[in-house]
Structure 1
Amino acid sequence: MTTSHLHKLNQFFIRKHVIFKRLVLPRCYSSDNSCPTSGAERYRDSQRHFSRRVRATRLRFSAVPNYSRVYGRHHVYFIDTNGIYRIDQRRDNSLEKLLDLERFLEKGGSGRWCVQRIRLSPQETRVAVTLKHSHEEKQRCVIISVAHESLFPSVQPRVIFTLEKVFSFEWATDDVLFYSTLDGLRSSSVFCLDFSKNGKISSVFEESKLDVFVEVALTRDQKLLTINSNSRSSSEVHVIDKENPSHQPILVQRREPDLLYHVEHWKGSLIILTNTGPGQEYQVVQASLSKPSVDSWLPLFTPHPGFTIKDMDIIEDFGVLTTRTPSHHLGLTVISLNKPDVLYFMELPSWSCTFEPKKADVRGKNNTLEFLISSPVHPPNQFCLLPEEALVLSAKDNKRYTDELNAVITSRLEARSKDDTPVPITLFHAARLEALKEAPMLVHVYGSYGRDLNMEFCPKKRLLLELGWALAFCHVRGGGESALYWHRQARVEGKRKSVDDLVACVQHLFSSGVSSSSLTALTARSAGAVPVGALCNLHPHLVKAVTLQAPFLDVLGTMADSDLPLTLEDREEWGDPVGNPEHGRIIATYCPLHNITPQRYPSMLLTAYSADSRAPLSGTVKYSEEIQKAVNSHFTLNQTSERGRKPNIVLNVQPGAHHTQEDFDLTVNEDALELAFLYKELGLDLPRPVRKKKR
């Protein structure tokens, strides 16, 4: 790669702008005292200490590569804390503000708007942007006119249209925008906004099934617009030719039970990633646009046993497949679309846990695949794949993190679950494996919806590693790490297997010489709270502390209430206790809320959001109250045998509706409280600040 090419790669790096504010401690409650902040008083000093450490760590890694910048034909668009800007690359990088987020603030309202995604029209005359509110489930799409000066010299960037409740959107032409809407937590409708017809909005697609979620997306070559209607277990895709956006959408394959597929476009034909391979696993097939249904699908590539396809990109005449090996490592499998054959396989660095390809832009460059790889403790590193040359090149700015990469050890372990199924564990540590017996350990888990455990880079996790912690990530069944069957095994009737896997992983770590019960904490968010809560009911002495964020804890009550926004969709994952009593019996055996019993539980930090409709606050409050009652009852009945202090149950209530937080200061505060909680409950001394050597 030439120096100029490397320089262009480096342009994708962005330094996140940070606003310094005074520390605002969150509202916390202990379950036995409803006074604000009473639950967190014992952590206040430690939280201030860790706030400085977390902030410094986040700033240290604020310049890591990411793909938040959008490249047009002549401009680079980027997001700042208070708006959207662009730089004119032809005019000495002159800066221009396109959108001021403060204009959308409501008088007397709380929260703020943040930018989710940016899309440029093909000729870059308009920009569409989606905004999400931090304290409410509100989304809107703002369309900005940025007509090129040579066409409209007097036109300045300005907002020309606003759409409410927009979820996904893509430009077909500079005048035609397709978008799907979000009503509550459901997306079922696709519309077309046509500026050539005075901003006329027409309906394009409507999904009637309540458990199906709809979104629009462009194929990588930007030739077709796809309307993707997906449930938890099935897919249905319609395509629209961008050259003829007024034509009716073409159905690729009607929905069939347990049939999943994702569509790309290549030279007039469809390249489809679908689970029609052996064992209902993913393979790559090809179909013509004139006969796109499953009867006409021709197999192009089926992975070898033990290999799993995670994703697919089409780069010129090549299919680039992100694959996971039998040893749980990430790699790239490149196939020729002209001659359906495997050309080569590249294993990525052993520490790689996430693979993020760069989305194609309006410039139409499609002969290389730029991508980022990272882990929870490894900052994103940028690479470029040239498929035809079987060559992967590294951006030179990756060198700044070389020493940090070398300081981390990645160990791949394997536990044996209750039914003897091997369960992968990824362990990050700085000391040698045999020296981790006295090290504190934080164990992560998810295990639902066929989704991988979040393994993206996290400054907080990096800080813990540097402070001597071991970080374990348990890839239990129900998640998507090992293959589609890994998810199928732990759905509905098999959901208890996620719990068995987690117990086996923690016990295996201890037997391998990593940490101990008194120095170990469990952490999870959302549905990951289910195996954690179940473990605490079954084996409360296995760990010392637990931190849960936006936790889902009342499985039985939620699945029995069809009026809740996600219940109908989620019954494919957890079961239907109303229509199937056996499902109710199974859920009742592991549901965290419905299995609380008087005993010594681990200390718990439960972080919930006041307007979160996915994991409602009421469920977390009820859980914390029941846990506290059980703890109090146990200590009352066992005053002579229980001589130690009672575990602390802290409910940390944050404002807002976000299931994932994007506010810098709020994130720092939450991270600092979690670290203070962990150090206090595990009986660890606060880490001493690093003193700089005098020159």
Structure 2
Amino acid sequence: MAVLNLPARFVLFRSNFKDVHWVTKRVHCRYYNSDATLDHVSRGLERYKDLQTYFKRHLKATYSRFRNVADHSAVCGRRHVYFMEGNSIFRMENRKSESEPEQVLDLGCVTAGAETQEWSVQRIRLSPQEKHLAATLKTHNAETIRCVVAKLGQRSVLTLDNVFTFEWATDEVLFYTTQENVKCQTVYRLDLTQNGHTIHPVYEESEPDVFVEVSLSRDRNTLSITCSSRNSSEVLLVDVSDPRLEPTLVQARQPELLYHVEHWRRNLIILANTGPGQEYQVIKAPLSEPSMVSWSPVFTPSLGTVLKDMDVVGDHCVLVAMTTTEFELELIIVPLFQPREAYTLQLPSWACVIESERPGLADQRGTLEFLLSSPVRPQVSYRLYPEEGLLSSGTGDGPTAFRKNQENYITARLKACSQDGTTVPVTLFYGMKLMKNTPLLVHVYGAYGQDVNMQFCPKKRFLLEQGWALAYCHIRGGGERGLAWHRQARIEGKHRGVEDLQACLSHLFSSGVYSPSRTVLTACSAGAVPVGALCNRRPDMMRAVVLQSPFLDVLGTMEDPELPLTLEDREEWGDPVGNPEHRLTISSYCPVCNITPQRYPSMLLSAYTDDDRTPLAGVLKYAEKLKEAAQIHFNTAATSDPEPNIVVSIQPGANHIGSDDWESMLEEEALQLAFLYKEMDLEPPRTSWRRKRK
């Protein structure tokens, strides 16, 4: 959700309607003692080496097929379009498509002697009259984050370190937050003057579990300072017409109150969880009296629909909603002058992720441009005209290579019944020709109220084309079915996520097409908890497991208050130190705590030495205990089953989201494919060679 942007044990991408980019700061990893330890746990990777090289070639070809997918990273100013090319930012005049690009920023000038090819532009912001440009840069392993502020048309450049979010209030005033040890708690104001610049502290958060960020309203009239914890939020507003005034508080934080603010005609349009069942509804309040006493409901969704995000476009409130019965995305458009005339627009049934494109300074305010995608379908651009109620596709229906074959793939919405009778959604992708024992790759997350990652991934598309089926289990603990879906699997309710995952697998197996012997489970970060717990309870339900940045030692981590995220994460997992019941609950499902000698599936664990969200110590501890238990079972049980392969791939110099380096990313994805095919005893895809005519 746009309301909560906390640094959870959450990996890869966020599927938010707002533009949010996650970064992490390098923290020295103190959890292992020598390279010998890493070499020991990484033994066994060599058996996948040949296949890894083979799949790397196939992945390069797959990525190449989608290289023509539209690049949406360009930024439109009043007079120019800005874009990244190589190690520089360039601009071209809007009305002169054939004009020569002008270089406005050379990364080599601001990287302080670092290898320029290791840096990339993360985000760009233009000042209102296009006098200044600010951009954040990061290295491929994201160990350093740097913000550069450049005066356009001149060569003067200012650098700021550890910047997380940043927005221009005026052409001379930039607000930004800084991040230290995955915490973001301070807001600064940069004032640019003819004689140089000054920096002033604007806000400093005192609570250790509160995360702070800045954002600009779509109409660019107010700047929000949003302070969020796991269960509450608080917003302060800055009037951009006089940004040096003290920020105004909207509503003081209260336990379990979450809200997000947009500006509209001297009013605030607020997305707040004050609706039935503490779900989100739309509220309005005058800017002059923004507190809860002045809040009046504008729109409350009907039963069976939950609001996921909000934007204000012209005189309309545009809501992203999810139907909890059919489990499909839709847009609800609320005319703010006549909210009773709200209407709904259905999105394509295949759509799994919606992302808005941040409007440029010159863009029309009366339309909303956004992107739709799925794990196997690249981004497709759409434009909404809320005044007319029209929705149009801007680029047809995706790349030509995809359009030609898209009818061969099916997106199915399934419903599994969990142990307590709760219906759990499953999204399934498969080819037209289903065969018995089709290999199945099952994805899961289920924590922090975050949806499982369903953005387009060429590797997933490759597997689909090779005859795999892909399942995404939307278990409780995630946010797919609203805030209550998350609350049901927090702290004492964590077992529900494990039960949901088991029910999803049972439902998939009941079709007769899929079977445990052809099933692989995969998860990232906190998604490893329900997967690891199910491996302990029902290892017979899967053949292999692939985990990336896995959070596996829940009890050990939550007992250590010195770790970066322990204190705020107790809202999610509980406090085993101060609450004996929480300790018993965590101990009942914690993957590390419940390992026992039995037939475990083969497992690939990918970890990173600079990961400060899921400590490497927990991954190594889990791997050693699992290997020992599997070995005991193999040596003592009268079974003809082969011993499972449990291997750890540790990448040095990368953090929780892995490396951004192209070759390193391909190596990791190729290893995962090699592991899947080797452990499933599958023949790798054969390359069809065509003889060229001379």
Structure 2-normalised TM-score? 0.91
The alpha carbon displacement at 1:642 in A equals: 2.3
Query: 2:656 corresponds to which residue?
Result: 659
Query: 1:394 corresponds to which residue?
Result: 393
- 1:650 counterpart = 2:651: no
Query: 1:473 corresponds to which residue?
Result: 472
Question: CA 1:664–1:508 in 2, change beyond 3 Å: closer, same or farther?
Answer: same
The alpha carbon displacement at 1:68 in A equals: 1.2
Helix, strand or coil at the partner of 1:546: strand
Q: Do the aligned partners of 1:129 and 1:143 also contact (CA within 8 Å) in 2?
A: yes
Query: 1:425 corresponds to which residue?
Result: 426
Query: 2:123 corresponds to which residue?
Result: 117
Q: 1:177 aligns with which of 174, 177, 182?
A: 174
Helix, strand or coil at the partner of 1:585: helix
Q: Do the aligned partners of 1:524 and 1:532 also contact (CA within 8 Å) in 2?
A: yes
Question: CA 1:636–1:568 in 2, change beyond 3 Å: closer, same or farther?
Answer: same
The alpha carbon displacement at 1:160 in A equals: 1.8
- 1:344 counterpart = 2:350: no
Counterpart AA for 1:99:
L
Bigger Cα displacement from structure 2, 344-353 vs 95-104: 95-104
Counterpart AA for 1:248:
E
Query: 2:226 corresponds to which residue?
Result: 228
- 1:560 counterpart = 2:566: no
Counterpart AA for 1:139:
I
What percent identity do the matched residue pairs reach?
52
Query: 1:366 corresponds to which residue?
Result: 365
Query: 2:613 corresponds to which residue?
Result: 614
Q: Do the aligned partners of 1:85 and 1:96 also contact (CA within 8 Å) in 2?
A: yes
The alpha carbon displacement at 1:164 in A equals: 0.8
- Unpaired runs of at least 5, structure 1: 1-28, 148-154
Query: 2:81 corresponds to which residue?
Result: 76
Q: Do the aligned partners of 1:309 and 1:321 also contact (CA within 8 Å) in 2?
A: yes
Aligned residues: 654
Q: Do the aligned partners of 2:122 and 2:137 also contact (CA within 8 Å) in 1?
A: yes
Counterpart AA for 1:625:
E
Q: 1:64 aligns with which of 50, 64, 69?
A: 69
- State the alpha-carbon separation in 1 of the partners of residues 116 and 585 from structure 2: 42
1:434-445 aligned at under 5 Å gives the runs 435-445=434-444
- State the alpha-carbon separation in 1 of the partners of residues 446 and 60 from structure 2: 30
Post-superposition Cα deviations, 1:578-597, rounded to whole Å, max 9, x if no partner, equal 11110010000000111111
The alpha carbon displacement at 1:286 in A equals: 0.2
The alpha carbon displacement at 1:484 in A equals: 0.6
The alpha carbon displacement at 1:32 in A equals: 10
Q: 2:303 aligns with which of 281, 302, 305?
A: 305
1:396-545 aligned at under 5 Å gives the runs 396-398=395-397, 400=400, 401-432=402-433, 435-545=434-544
Q: 2:165 aligns with which of 158, 162, 168?
A: 168
Counterpart AA for 2:99:
N
Q: Do the aligned partners of 2:78 and 2:362 also contact (CA within 8 Å) in 1?
A: yes
Q: Do the aligned partners of 2:609 and 2:650 also contact (CA within 8 Å) in 1?
A: yes
Counterpart AA for 2:225:
I
Helix, strand or coil at the partner of 2:184: coil
Helix, strand or coil at the partner of 2:330: strand
Counterpart AA for 2:177:
S
The alpha carbon displacement at 1:357 in A equals: 1.1
Q: Do the aligned partners of 2:444 and 2:475 also contact (CA within 8 Å) in 1?
A: yes
The alpha carbon displacement at 1:643 in A equals: 2.0
- State the alpha-carbon separation in 2 of the partners of residues 600 and 111 from structure 1: 46
Q: 2:280 aligns with which of 274, 282, 306?
A: 282
Query: 1:242 corresponds to which residue?
Result: 240
Counterpart AA for 1:299:
P
Q: Do the aligned partners of 1:437 and 1:513 also contact (CA within 8 Å) in 2?
A: yes
Query: 2:10 corresponds to which residue?
Result: none
The alpha carbon displacement at 1:66 in A equals: 4.4
The alpha carbon displacement at 1:34 in A equals: 2.9
Helix, strand or coil at the partner of 1:300: strand
Q: Do the aligned partners of 2:134 and 2:147 also contact (CA within 8 Å) in 1?
A: yes
Question: CA 1:571–1:137 in 2, change beyond 3 Å: closer, same or farther?
Answer: farther
Bigger Cα displacement from structure 2, 615-624 vs 466-475: 615-624
- State the alpha-carbon separation in 2 of the partners of residues 140 and 208 from structure 1: 25
Question: CA 1:465–1:159 in 2, change beyond 3 Å: closer, same or farther?
Answer: farther
The alpha carbon displacement at 1:194 in A equals: 0.2
Q: Do the aligned partners of 1:383 and 1:394 also contact (CA within 8 Å) in 2?
A: yes
The alpha carbon displacement at 1:618 in A equals: 1.7
Question: CA 1:83–1:352 in 2, change beyond 3 Å: closer, same or farther?
Answer: same
Q: Do the aligned partners of 2:42 and 2:650 also contact (CA within 8 Å) in 1?
A: no
The alpha carbon displacement at 1:405 in A equals: 2.7
Helix, strand or coil at the partner of 1:457: coil
The alpha carbon displacement at 1:257 in A equals: 0.2
The alpha carbon displacement at 1:81 in A equals: 4.6
The alpha carbon displacement at 1:100 in A equals: 3.2
- State the alpha-carbon separation in 2 of the partners of residues 31 and 543 from structure 1: 31
- 1:192 counterpart = 2:189: yes
Q: Do the aligned partners of 1:31 and 1:650 also contact (CA within 8 Å) in 2?
A: no
Helix, strand or coil at the partner of 1:87: strand
Q: 1:141 aligns with which of 139, 143, 147?
A: 147
Bigger Cα displacement from structure 2, 33-42 vs 327-336: 33-42
Helix, strand or coil at the partner of 1:99: strand
- 1:94 counterpart = 2:119: no
Q: 1:211 aligns with which of 192, 209, 212?
A: 209
The alpha carbon displacement at 1:273 in A equals: 0.3
- State the alpha-carbon separation in 2 of the partners of residues 120 and 655 from structure 1: 35
Post-superposition Cα deviations, 1:90-144, rounded to whole Å, max 9, x if no partner, equal 4523123333334555668899322211101111111101122333542111111
Post-superposition Cα deviations, 1:421-459, rounded to whole Å, max 9, x if no partner, equal 110000000135xx3422100000000000011010000
Q: Do the aligned partners of 1:274 and 1:284 also contact (CA within 8 Å) in 2?
A: yes
- State the alpha-carbon separation in 1 of the partners of residues 306 and 296 from structure 2: 19
Bigger Cα displacement from structure 2, 661-670 vs 565-574: 661-670
Counterpart AA for 1:98:
V
Question: CA 1:222–1:430 in 2, change beyond 3 Å: closer, same or farther?
Answer: same
- State the alpha-carbon separation in 2 of the partners of residues 30 and 589 from structure 1: 33
Bigger Cα displacement from structure 2, 330-339 vs 662-671: 662-671
- 1:632 counterpart = 2:631: yes
Counterpart AA for 1:272:
I
Question: CA 1:39–1:99 in 2, change beyond 3 Å: closer, same or farther?
Answer: farther
The alpha carbon displacement at 1:184 in A equals: 1.0
Query: 1:3 corresponds to which residue?
Result: none
Helix, strand or coil at the partner of 1:562: coil
Counterpart AA for 1:175:
E
Query: 1:19 corresponds to which residue?
Result: none
The alpha carbon displacement at 1:162 in A equals: 0.6
Post-superposition Cα deviations, 1:253-298, rounded to whole Å, max 9, x if no partner, equal 0000000000000011000000000010000010011110111101
Question: CA 1:101–1:40 in 2, change beyond 3 Å: closer, same or farther?
Answer: farther
Counterpart AA for 1:144:
A
Counterpart AA for 1:279:
G
- State the alpha-carbon separation in 1 of the partners of residues 586 and 116 from structure 2: 38
Question: CA 1:204–1:306 in 2, change beyond 3 Å: closer, same or farther?
Answer: same
- State the alpha-carbon separation in 2 of the partners of residues 547 and 60 from structure 1: 26
Helix, strand or coil at the partner of 1:601: coil
- State the alpha-carbon separation in 2 of the partners of residues 86 and 660 from structure 1: 30
- State the alpha-carbon separation in 1 of the partners of residues 244 and 80 from structure 2: 30
Question: CA 1:465–1:414 in 2, change beyond 3 Å: closer, same or farther?
Answer: same
Question: CA 1:427–1:692 in 2, change beyond 3 Å: closer, same or farther?
Answer: farther
After superposition, the CA RMSD in angstroms is 2.0
The alpha carbon displacement at 1:333 in A equals: 0.6
- State the alpha-carbon separation in 1 of the partners of residues 385 and 142 from structure 2: 43
Bigger Cα displacement from structure 2, 109-118 vs 376-385: 109-118
- State the alpha-carbon separation in 1 of the partners of residues 117 and 521 from structure 2: 31
Q: Do the aligned partners of 1:284 and 1:300 also contact (CA within 8 Å) in 2?
A: yes
Counterpart AA for 1:520:
T
Query: 1:292 corresponds to which residue?
Result: 290
Bigger Cα displacement from structure 2, 472-481 vs 616-625: 616-625
The alpha carbon displacement at 1:198 in A equals: 3.0
Q: 1:318 aligns with which of 311, 316, 319?
A: 316
